[in-house]
Copies of this chain bind each other. A is one copy, B any other.
Amino acid sequence: MVGGGQLARMTHEAGIPLGIKFKLLSDTPQDSAAQVVGDVVVGDYRDIHTLRAFAQGCDVITFDHEHVPTELLQVLEADGIPVRPGPDALVHAQDKGVMRARLDALGIPSPRHRLVKDAADVAAFAAEGADGGDGFPVVLKTVRGGYDGKGVWVVRGPGDEAASEPFRAGVPVLAEEKVDFARELAANVVRSPHGQAVAYPVVESIQVDGVCDTVIAPAPELPEDEAVRAQELALTIARELGVVGHLAVELFETRDGRILVNELAMRPHNSGHWTQDGAVTSQFANHVRAVLDLPLGDPRPRARWTVMANVLGGDYPDMYGAYLHCMARDPQLKIHMYGKDVKPGRKVGHVNVHGDDLADVRERAAHAAGYLRGTITE
């Protein structure tokens, strides 16, 4: 696995029971996954020599992130090393412009969008969607490299300086309508090279300041036909783009019941962390099984409700002192920490809680995440 973040850490954890030999390419020996994996190569994944040497003797390569350049992955494939997901699929998770064009061609609904090259383009794009108003706000995104609110600007009106900012770096920029959504959903599926696929229940994802805060599985009060539509849409994307492994499709549910694709991620994803304690087979275990072309595990839930809450860094560097209170308060609480240095606002872990009563499950997850962060002190 290329990349030493928490997704690799939890993929290793899920791979241990399968008896597989897991090898990691990590930027540093201190990275989240590098702390717990036996076979670690420290090196730069952007260097083709490092990548080729790492890949020697691997049966298959997969990823903790989507940052490995397409041309490097093509070199590995030419070397005869299976890369899963492959570069032709992965580009849709790397480049939002390519992704939007492909979804359009497949007839899959996205927010209104266009590649733009300057502030005048942005104004023209807004005017076309005016519909009685001025067409703003408009969202601008660098087509590559953005995540968790980075590389994203919201242009509130015609005179907003944010309309010029993204163009300074000289990278391609995508303009999108700012969808007036009711909530965000995610449809997670896993697909194997021989074409088997499984769909997890559609979840609700609650963002705070552009960062995922809480995931509720399954999404409360989601009409069955809409849930099925979301799952089918994700399965279609996985099949048509040739995705292998876990695919997260982040969705907007609009106030009039439409579902629009926001983002794609081709790897285990924050919206699937609940599956570790809430599904028969976790997203990490199924990602491993897909990448190895093994039959996939049952994605069904094991509890009526499972809620995941992210733990962000707070003011105190030692979160482990908070374990005493959290574990004593809730013996069913499942804590998942990533071994990362605590920095304010940084994702350093998550908690999962399952049960029959959604309000109770949400309260317990939120309490534990807040207590670990230090924003709740009782």
Contact = CB atoms under 8 A, between A and B. Distances in A.
Given A12-B36, A34-B38, A40-B38, A335 B298 contact: no
B294 A17 contact: no
A183 interface: no
Contacts of A298: 331-332
Nearest to A299: B331
Most central of A16, A21, A338 by chain B CB within 10 Å: A16
5 contacts: A19-B339, A21-B35, A280-B331, A297-B331, A298-B331
Contacts of A323: 18, 294-295
Contacts of A324: 294-295
B335 A18 contact: yes
Interface in A309-344: 319-320, 323-324, 327-328, 331-339
Interface of A: 9-10, 12-13, 16-19, 21-22, 34-38, 40, 276, 280-281, 289, 294-298, 302, 319-320, 323-324, 327-328, 331-339, 349
Number of copies: 2
Contact of A289 (B40, B296, B327): B327
A332 B300 CA distance: 9
Nearest to A281: B331
Contacts of A302: 302
B17 A13 contact: yes
Nearest to A37: B38
Contacts of A337: 17-19
A327 B295 contact: yes
A319 to B, nearest CB: 8
A37 to B, nearest CB: 6
A333 B36 CA distance: 26
Among A22, A319, A339, the most chain B Cβ lie within 10 Å of the Cβ of: A339
Contacts of A40: 38
Contacts of A335: 17-18
